[in-house]
Amino acid sequence: DVIRNLKVTNITTSSVILRWDEQTENIPFFKITWTVDDTNENTTSSTFFCDITGLTAGVNYTFCVTAVIKDNERESERFCISTYTEPDVIRNLSVTNISTSSVFLTWQEPVGNRSFFKLKWTGDKTIGNASEITNTSYNITDLTAGVNYTFCITAVAADNSTEGDASCISQYTKPDVIRNLTVSNVTTSSVFLTWQEPIGKRSLFKVNWTDDKTNGNALETSNTSHHITNLTAGVNYMICVTAVTKENLKESEPFCISKYTVPDMIRNLTVTNITTSSVFLTWQEPIGNRSFFKLLWTGDKTIRNTSEITSTSHHITNLTAGANYTFCVTAVTTDNLGESKPFCISKYTVPNMIRNLIVTNITTSSVILTWQEPVGNRSFFKLLWTGDKTIRNASEMTNTSHHITNLTAGVNYTFCVTAVTADNLGESELFCISNYTVPNMIRNLIVTNITTSSVILTWQEPVGNRSFFKLLWTGDKTIRNASEITNTSHHITNLTAGVNYTFCVTAVTADNLGESEPFCISKYTVPNMIRNLIVTNITTSSVILTWQEPVGNRSFFKLLWTGDKTIRNASEITNTSHHITNLTAGVNYTFCVTAVTADNLGESEPFCISKYTVPNTIRNLTVTNITTSSVFLTWQEPVGNRSFFKLHWSGDETIGNATEITNNSYNITNLTAGVNYTFCITAVAADHSTEGDASCISQYTKPDVIRNLTVSEVTTSSVFLSWDEPIGKRSFFKLKWTDDKMNRNVTETSNTSYNIINLIPGVNYTFCINAVAADYLTNGETFCVSQYTKPDMIRNITVSNVSTSSVFLTWHEPTGKRSFFKLHWTDDKMNGNVTETSNTSFNITDLIPGVIYKFCITAVAADNSTKGETFCISQYTMPNMIRNLTVTNITTSSVILTWQEPVGNRSFFKLHWTGDKTNRNASEITNTSYDITGLTAGVNYTFCITAVAADHSTEGDTFCTSKYTKPNVIGNLIVSEVTTSSVFLSWNEPIGKRSFFKVKWTDKTKETSNTSHNVTDLIPGVNYTFCITAVAADNSTEGNTICISQYAKPNMIMSLKASEVTSSSVFLTWQEPSGNISFFKINWNEEKRMSKTTTNTSYHITDLKPGVNYTFCITAVALDLSTEGGPICISQYTKIVDAVPGLGVIVGSVVAVICFLFIIPLIFFYSRRQTQKQCPDIPVHNLSNLALRIEDYEEYFKRKHADSNCGFAEEYEELKSVGKAQSKDAAEAIENKAKNRYTNVLPCE
């Protein structure tokens, strides 16, 4: 014990000072050695201290001191001590990404070594810490806005106590934005600002305001309000308030608000150029700014205004002559909110009236002419118009407007109006005006030949005239035109790929003023292919794909990859890169990227590339069967795929390789004894170039050791060691024993036994002996033995973090000492596992889900035989999630759930479902299927199933799926309003819910959300079957279908004629109606109603009475023998039979004279009923209006309705006298065609 109290002082980053007690003996000098990372350094000192420099920062050094006695031939035993040098200070500490509540610190590693960093920050009376940071950056959150923080970072050595100098930096967090900035008390030259303090701290506020010419002003204030003066009237000011820290180091985001000052009143309003119908107002600009003026005038019991006048004058027309008007002008700001005080003036207009013929409401086939009364009197107006090679008149109009119809689209018409006196002799000069009618819209615009840069447009000519076409297309933020196109097609080029273009074509008149409604269509151009697809950052389970945008536009990318017998995709990627994860290691994948337009229809050609993923690192590389010249390596396959393994080893100045090993074990021979070898194994993919990370392990070959080291005569303070000589030779033995607080050594003993005394009871001692060669340097393998006093039992074992395959055990240290713990667990089938740990916690993995395990822990001494009492606890692992949950047998009120058992064990399942605002459960299901009833039709239900362990509390993860129940069938489907081309369907809502209905007939399907639908475009007389199905909100789940059949009404017959008329018969002929019919029904009235049926288009009616006017009505009947079309009627007299030859002529002459004298007043009434004798055509009558009192209408209706509506049929026939040349513009308009009940019966104007 020559060296005593060895201490290390003055520790810096590169030096330490060693000190030990002075000795009374005569010691010439001391040897000092230190080691780090297998490197030995030494020096000597003749004093009792030594200053060692040139060390590396943050490194653990072991310093040993030996005294050299007398003649340099003998040395004392070494005394050693270990310590870390201080880590160096970190470099380049900087603060970035400064926000109101966080900062991001970055720094560079210190020179030398370190284990981790300690971070501390202070500010706002708070102290924050983040210990054991291993990275060189850290994001600090939850800071207070506007506070000056000081951040200090210290590097710490691996002993968790040796710290370097701190590197500090100060930084303000950004102040928060102010709140609730408001502007009040707005005048022509000032505003008053108020706001609330920001969250956090601030020093002062900066107030900035700029006008519309970016003239700026700024000031600082510590208040939360400010009165801004000296502003210009009517100007829009942008006012911003910013919170600022001390010394103006950091500013918050500005809070801005815009406000106009009130405009000043205008000046010097004057009225000039006063006429009978107009005045001219002028005024001077107000002081300051304004956006426009509002003008208001009152007089002649009217109030009128003209808004947004930008000049300082205005011509007011359409005034009443001789009226007193008050004119008021107000200046207004751009936001239409700020108005000045009005400036008003009053004036009379000059008496007299003007004449103004104008054309309004111009459409494709009509205009409305309006004009003012002329000066003086007039009786009526004559109207003449010319155009489209026609001249037309409308005479004797008393109104000052006229609606002209039946014009041709796109034609230039000249309209002339003349005032005429009451004697119809005096006419005024013509007042004429010309105007084009609006061209009709083009028809059937289609887009074809779509490429990446061009399309071809084609369309049909509009109905009517036109001069040329205007073509406009928009897309890719551009608007382009192709004007004066005379053809009905156009090839558009130079478009951008992948862009949605809208193409609009308009027909234009020759004056370039009249344009039709545009016909527009939208189409995407085809996207271009992406460019330069590359694969980077290839790992065992992921790659990063990057590529360049295609030329032109695109909405998103579709990504598809294949490999390992799988096809996967990631759709709607908007970036030009994608990180693909969950790949299998060592597999060759092909990645394809396609650009797609926003309508999801246009796709570019795919760009593909193939790459192998990196094979995984092998697992559990172990060395066994170690001899003095060989080892046996074994390892487990890496996760994923591989082709073969590369093996490399080095040691004893030799390097060995074994390539393309396909097995997972290898026996290496011909090694040198006692040498440290490093063995590295790498998995290689099938391309022979992609290699995974190497897994390495180092191992010495065995040297010779002593034999049969035994500990005997163990007492509380001594042991007796004895051993056998090692095979071979040795010079002496080194003996070392250690407890937990000290090291002691006995060297140069030549005996094979030694008695050690003065030991401490209850402590684990390790006794190590190695043979030393004669060179005093070569040591054989150490042979050690340990002896413990019995340890105590552990305390407070707990189980946490329970998953499907692992649990986390924690417990308290036993009283006293221990070496490690033996952990033993068994499942419900008594399958056991044992492991050892030196920690008071352990994460047990690779367990079976849903199984009860018994975990037992025993404290063990270092000799592996001295054990404490065992402490045990039981716990279930979480069951696994169920698999393949499917929903089948879906009805309106029930579903059947089926699923597969989870991997591992379970006791039962918990089932929970939600939908239709209800939550329900079915607990303790033991089967893997369940029939759920009592559901609501058409509702989206979510079904969730959880596996539960036998303890009724440990549950696995939940597996959920959603499905709609079938909607219910509709009720009360009825058909009404049956016409020749349409029927009206109505029905009741189904019980439960639905999204919409599908209405099907023949080969057509329509969708509607209503409970009724008008079906049009039917063929007359055809039997249709209409089927209605309720559909759920997923657009796929449909309820049962309800169907109904109905015939459309047959069309009316055409060209009904009566011929071959005799005194007792007539012959009727007619044409087949369009559509289908079964037969015809013929009705006529005699003393009683007569009816016949026929399948022909003619019928000979006999047994009639002579001289009687018969009305014959024919109706087409459908195949159901009940659905009838509208009747067509004709009236005809049968011939009169003469009793005496020639008597008819005489009687006829007499009757004619009598009729001429007495029946003239009755001609008007008879003209409505009678036809000329023996005329087969329908007679022409003059129509007259029939005025009815409302109380008489019911009787009138019954009279006309009698005999199959014969009265109405007669009135209907009388309409033929009007002719077909009447105007039907409204009925034939495109927007009204669907409203016409019949296609061949139209209303006229």
883-964: CATH number: 2.60.40.10
Q: What are the pLDDT digits (tens) for 960-1002? A: 999 999 999 999 999 998 999 999 999 999 988 999 999 999 8
pLDDT tops 70 at residue 571: no
- Which of 424-438, 463-477, 568-582, 891-905 ranks highest by mean pLDDT? 891-905
Q: Is the pLDDT of residue 848 over 80?
A: yes
In CATH, which superfamily holds the domain spanning 971-1047? Immunoglobulins (2.60.40.10)
Number of other CB atoms surrounding residue 856 within 10 Å: 17
Q: Where exactly are the structural domains of the chain?
A: 7-84, 91-172, 179-260, 267-348, 358-436, 443-524, 536-612, 619-700, 707-787, 795-876, 883-964, 971-1047, 1054-1139+1164-1235
Most confident range, picked from 70-74, 746-750, 905-909: 905-909
In degrees to the nearest 10, what's the CA dihedral of 588, 591, 592, 593?
A: -170
**Residue 297: pLDDT above 70?**
yes
Q: What is the mean pLDDT of residues 615-623?
A: 93
Closest CA to 907 of 953, 873, 875: 953
Q: Tens digit of pLDDT for each residue in 584-605?
A: 888 999 999 999 988 888 888 8
Q: How confident is the model at residue 1177 (pLDDT cuts 50, 70, 90)?
A: very low
Mean pLDDT of 1158-1173: 46
Most confident of 15-19, 272-276, 570-574: 15-19
* Selection from 441, 485, 484, 446 nearest residue 463 by Cα: 441
**Nearest in space to 204 (alpha carbons), one of 149, 246, 145:** 246
- Please, which pLDDT band fits residue 1174 given cuts at 50, 70 and 90? very low
pLDDT value, residue 1186 = 54
pLDDT-based confidence at 1140, cuts 50/70/90?
very low
Model confidence at 545, pLDDT cuts 50, 70, 90, reads: very high
Kindly state the tokens that stand for 896.
């059947």
Give the percent of the chain with pLDDT over 90.
37
Q: Express each pLDDT in 131-188 by its tens digit.
A: 689 999 999 998 888 898 999 999 999 898 899 999 999 999 999 999 999 999 988 8
* Among 162-176, 535-549, 638-652, 957-971, the least confident range: 638-652
| Predicted pLDDT at 1163 | 47
pLDDT digits (tens, 9 = 90+) for 357-370: 899 999 988 999 99
Domain 179-260 carries which CATH code? 2.60.40.10
* pLDDT band of 884, cuts 50, 70, 90: very high
Tokens of 1073: 């109606």
**pLDDT of 612 higher than 80:** yes
Q: Which of the four pLDDT bands, split at 50, 70 and 90, describes residue 482?
A: low
Rounded to an integer, the average pLDDT of 1198-1204 is: 74
CATH number of the domain at 443-524, please? 2.60.40.10
Is the pLDDT at 1100 greater than 60? The verdict is yes
pTM above 0.75, yes or no: no
**Contacts of residue 1202, Cβ cutoff 8 Å, sequence gap at least 6:** none
Taking residues 305-321, report their average pLDDT: 82
Do residues 947 and 902 touch, judged by C-beta distance below 8 A?
A: yes
Confidence band for 764, pLDDT divided at 50, 70 and 90: confident
Superfamily of domain 358-436 in the CATH hierarchy:
Immunoglobulins (2.60.40.10)
Fold designation for 795-876: Immunoglobulin-like (2.60.40)
680, two tokens:
């590295």
**734 confidence band (pLDDT: 50, 70, 90):** confident
For domain 267-348, the CATH class is mainly beta
Residue 212's pLDDT is what?
Answer: 73
The top-level CATH class assigned to 619-700 is mainly beta
* CATH code of the domain occupying 7-84: 2.60.40.10
**Domain 91-172 classified CATH 1.10.357.10?**
no
pLDDT, residue 532, reads 93
The string of DSSP letters for 85-109 reads PPPPPPEEEEEES--SS-EEEEEEP
Q: Mean per-residue pLDDT for 1065-1081?
A: 91
What share of residues in the chain are helix, strand, coil (percent, to 5)?
A: 5, 50, 45
* Cβ–Cβ under 8 Å, residues 1061 and 999: no
677 CB-contact burial (10 Å; exposed 0-12 / middle 13-18 / buried 19+): buried
Class of domain 1054-1139+1164-1235: mainly beta
Structure confidence at residue 946 (pLDDT): 93
Order of strands across the sheet that contains 343-348: 302-309, 292-299, 324-332, 343-348
443-524 and 883-964 share one CATH topology? Answer: yes
219 pLDDT band, cuts 50/70/90, is: confident
Under CATH, what is the fold of the domain 707-787? Answer: Immunoglobulin-like (2.60.40)
pLDDT confidence of 27, banded at 50, 70, 90?
confident
At 1205 the three-state DSSP class reads: helix
User: What is the band of 1187 on the pLDDT scale with cuts at 50, 70, 90?
Assistant: low
For the segment 908-934, the average pLDDT, to the nearest whole number, is 85
Residue 451 has pLDDT above 80, yes or no: yes
Lowest mean pLDDT among 235-244, 317-326, 945-954, 958-967: 317-326
Residues 6+ apart with CB under 8 A from 468: 483, 484, 485, 486, 508
What residues contact residue 923 under an 8 Å CB cut-off, 6+ apart?
A: 908, 910, 911
In the predicted model, what is the mean pLDDT of residues 859-880?
84
pLDDT per position as a tens digit, 100-131: 989 999 999 999 899 999 999 898 777 777 76
Q: Which pLDDT does position 73 carry in this prediction?
A: 67
Rounded to the nearest integer, the mean pLDDT of the chain is 84
Q: For residue 388, which amino acid is it?
A: D
pLDDT reading at 1199 higher than 90: no
pLDDT score for 614: 92
The dotted CATH code for 536-612 is 2.60.40.10
pLDDT of residue 1169: 44
